């Protein structure tokens, strides 16, 4: 839980700057067939206008890479999911939006979204569950205008657990998608 | 230049990560935990041995094979006469012990460190010979000879071809190292096909047993490779955008079904064995994965959560509407179809336990075969009479076999290893 609370506190300060031009439900959907190019384009402009807070925070960093600065929201990369849920929760939206803004401002930047799953059940089915989580984050970035060519959603399934225990807390830790930049 | 690059990536690199040194290893435990009422009683009399013969004794390997099948019982032989030739058999003694069949044999040393192995299978009631063979073998063929003899005995007594000379594949994790291995059907005599610091899952023998498809994470995402088991050369089968996984060979070996996410959600596709001509087979907005072919090539069974929970469905291999197959649980995954097309094995979760279930396709009748809690990846033997699966014992992955009646379970386990993802090959 600690891991989740800290980013939330950081996000609180930035929340005032966020213009959520994206309908939450739209961004959270699991149904890929409803993603229409037109909607993405429309959302894109709204998302860009909502990134002013991010560029300010980027400027205060000076020359450093904002993605590496622990005080910058861009250093946060993990989106956690509830059991059997594949929706990016509201608490992660400012972080996802910040990464979308970064990617929009840096068209050469590339990210892989790595989905994970807890260890219970079939390895291949868990691979698909991890993919579903990665895809939810990818979609949230896409509706913020990030181009398809900048992103790849992949899954590690249950194969690379961050937490190797068998308690509910361990499983929750592994129901996760991570945003990883190509130059890292 | 291009050909050099080609040579490196297609030939040298794969060879570098392949080890083909066969190794004989410490004994696996075989625990037969039950047995059918109608097992055929056999007197397997220890073969007359020869100096410098390898260990363990041939009859020990043969006996474990036969016991694991669940269809044969062994009559106690200690303290009784140990005939080598048919004329020496006192049939009254062996009938008195309940034996329907008697196996006798001997090992003779040959020049050059080789051995001649002779054996005979006798009908204890009719007092006639059912089978008799001799093998001229090197010491490295010791276990193979034992499995061959077990196959002959099994087929003569049951009328069903044996499976003891077939091979299995599995993934072993040791520390941070993953190894894809091929072994004899009893888990012994393994060879490493690929070794990697990243996970390997879902190995699948081609129908002819010459190639292996599998999923490797060595390139930071799941990619499907096909590797020759003869020379170790390897090709990428599917490295599309997103995840590539769950390969399953068509019965003719020309195509594979697999799971791709390049059109977003995990869906089942068909692809030619050369990695070309991929076509989408399932069309849902849910997870479709773990495809497996019916033996006649007509159907592809797969796991889907389109109904809200993971269940097994089937679709024509030519496409079309999918039909749901499992209804008995809230979590039903990892189908495999028996070689005769009559049964499906899969893993079902009941009250938090994941166990292997046998499902008769014509009637939908089901039987839970195992008594463990973390079973995965059931795979039919080539003769359809046993299932191989992975489970956890004391937190460690072990391989097990179970007969179709669920009464005979054996563990193929080696101390210190963590085995998973088994596939039973030809």
Closest Cα in chain B, distance from residue A72 (Å): 26
Q: What is the pLDDT of residues B299-310, one digit of tens each?
A: 999 999 999 999
Partners of residue B246 in chain A, C-beta under 8 Å = 124, 127
CATH number of the domain located at residue range(s) B167-424 in this protein:
2.120.10.30
Helix (H, G, I), strand (E, B), or coil: what is residue A172?
A: helix
Q: Whole-angstrom Cα distance, residue B106 to residue B133?
A: 11
Q: Where are the beta strands (DSSP E) in B177-233?
A: 177-184, 191-196, 200-205, 211-216, 223-228
Pairing of strands B279-280, B267-272: antiparallel
Mean pLDDT of chain B: 91
Cα B252-B254-B257 angle, rounded to 5 deg: 95
Residue for token pair 């004794």: B57
Residue B149, judged by CB atoms within 10 A of its CB (0-12, 13-18, 19+), counts as buried
Q: Tell me what percent of the residues of chain B surpass a pLDDT of 90.
A: 85
Q: What is the ipTM of this complex?
A: 0.91
pTM for this predicted structure = 0.85
Q: What is the mean pLDDT of residues B313-325?
A: 98
Interchain CB distance below 8 Å, A152 and B222:
no
Partners of residue B373 in chain A, C-beta under 8 Å = none
Task: Select the more confidently predicted residue: B192 or A29.
Answer: B192
Cα(first)–Cα(last) distance of chain A, in Å?
Answer: 26
Q: Where are the beta strands (DSSP E) in B128-176?
A: 128-137, 167-174
Q: Where are the domains of chain A?
A: 2-181
Q: What is the pLDDT of residues B57-89, one digit of tens each?
A: 999 999 999 999 999 999 999 988 899 999 999
Q: Whole-angstrom Cα distance, residue B125 to residue B99?
A: 9
B320: CB partners within 8 A, 6+ apart = none
**Nearest CB partner across the interface for A121, out of B246, B289, B354:** B354
User: Is 3.40.50.10070 the CATH number for B40-158?
Assistant: yes
Interchain CB distance below 8 Å, B310 and A120:
no
pLDDT of residue B154 exceeding 50 = yes
Token pair in block for residue A158: 């249950």
DSSP bridge pairs for B270:
B257, B279
Partners of residue B289 in chain A, C-beta under 8 Å = 124-125, 127-128
pLDDT of residue A41 exceeding 90 = no
Q: Write out the residue limits of the CATH 3.40.50.10070 domain(s) in chain B.
A: 40-158
Residue of A nearest to B376 (CA): A122
Give the model's pLDDT for residue A184. 86
Q: Whole-angstrom Cα distance, residue A68 to residue A58?
A: 11
Partners of residue A152 in chain B, C-beta under 8 Å = 221, 241-242
CATH superfamily of A2-181: OmpA-like domain (3.30.1330.60)
Helix (H, G, I), strand (E, B), or coil: what is residue B10?
A: helix
Give the model's pLDDT for residue B5. 43
């Amino acid at each position: 839980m600690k891991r989740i609370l800290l980013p939330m506190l950081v996000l609180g300060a930035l929340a005032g700057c966020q213009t959520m031009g994206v309908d939450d439900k739209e961004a959270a959907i699991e149904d890929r067939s409803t993603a229409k190019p037109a909607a993405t384009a429309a959302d894109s402009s709204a998302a860009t206008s909502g990134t002013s807070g991010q560029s300010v925070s980027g400027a205060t960093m000076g020359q450093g890479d904002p993605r590496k600065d622990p005080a910058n929201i861009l250093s946060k990369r993990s989106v956690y999911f509830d059991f059997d849920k594949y929706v990016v929760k509201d608490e992660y939206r400012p972080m996802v939006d910040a990464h979308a803004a970064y990617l929009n401002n840096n068209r050469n930047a590339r990210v892989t979204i790595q989905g994970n799953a807890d260890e219970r059940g079939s390895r291949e089915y868990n691979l698909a569950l991890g993919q579903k989580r990665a895809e939810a984050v990818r979609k949230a970035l896409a509706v913020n205008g990030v181009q398809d060519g900048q992103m790849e959603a992949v899954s590690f399934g249950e194969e690379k657990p961050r937490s190797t225990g068998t308690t509910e807390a361990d499983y929750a830790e592994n129901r996760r998608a991570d945003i990883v930049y190509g130059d890292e | 230049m291009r050909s050099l690059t080609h040579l490196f990536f297609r030939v040298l690199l794969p060879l570098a990560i392949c080890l083909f040194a066969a190794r004989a290893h410490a004994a696996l435990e075989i625990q037969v935990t039950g047995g059918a009422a109608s097992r055929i009683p056999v007197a397997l009399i220890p073969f007359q041995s020869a100096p410098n013969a390898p260990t363990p004794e041939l009859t020990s390997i043969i006996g474990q094979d036969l016991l694991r099948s669940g269809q044969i019982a062994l009559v106690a032989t200690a303290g009784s006469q140990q005939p080598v030739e048919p004329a020496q058999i006192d049939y009254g003694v062996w009938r008195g012990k309940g034996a329907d069949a008697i196996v006798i044999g001997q090992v003779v040393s040959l020049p050059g460190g080789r051995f001649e192995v002779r054996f005979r299978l006798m009908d204890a009631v009719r007092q006639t010979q059912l089978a008799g063979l001799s093998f001229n073998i090197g010491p490295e063929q010791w276990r193979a000879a034992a499995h061959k003899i077990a196959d002959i005995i099994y087929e003569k007594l049951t009328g069903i071809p044996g499976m003891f000379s077939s091979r299995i594949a599995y993934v072993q994790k040791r520390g941070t190292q993953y190894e894809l291995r091929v072994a004899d059907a009893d888990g012994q005599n393994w060879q490493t096909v690929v070794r990697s610091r990243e996970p390997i899952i879902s190995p699948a023998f081609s129908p002819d047993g010459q190639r292996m498809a599998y999923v490797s994470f060595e390139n930071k995402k799941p990619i499907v490779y096909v590797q020759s088991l003869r020379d170790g050369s390897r090709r990428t089968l599917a490295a599309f955008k997103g995840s590539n996984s769950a390969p399953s060979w068509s019965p003719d070996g020309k195509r594979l079904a697999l799971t791709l996410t390049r059109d977003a959600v995990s869906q089942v596709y068909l692809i030619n064995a050369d990695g070309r001509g991929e076509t989408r087979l399932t069309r849902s907005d849910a997870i479709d994965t773990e495809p497996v072919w019916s033996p006649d090539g007509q159907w592809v069974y797969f796991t889907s959560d389109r109904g809200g929970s993971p269940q097994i469905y089937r679709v024509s291999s030519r496409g079309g509407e999918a039909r749901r197959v499992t209804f008995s649980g809230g979590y039903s995954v990892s189908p495999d179809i028996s070689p005769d097309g009559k049964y499906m094995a899969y893993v079902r979760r009941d009250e938090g336990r994941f166990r292997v279930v046998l499902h008769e396709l014509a009637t939908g009748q089901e039987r839970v075969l195992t008594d463990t809690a973390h079973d995965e990846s059931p795979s039919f033997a080539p003769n359809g009479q046993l299932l191989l699966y992975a489970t956890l014992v004391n937190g460690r992955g072990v391989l097990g076999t179970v007969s179709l009646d669920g009464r005979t379970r054996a563990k193929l386990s080696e101390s210190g290893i963590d085995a998973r993802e088994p596939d039973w090959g030809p």
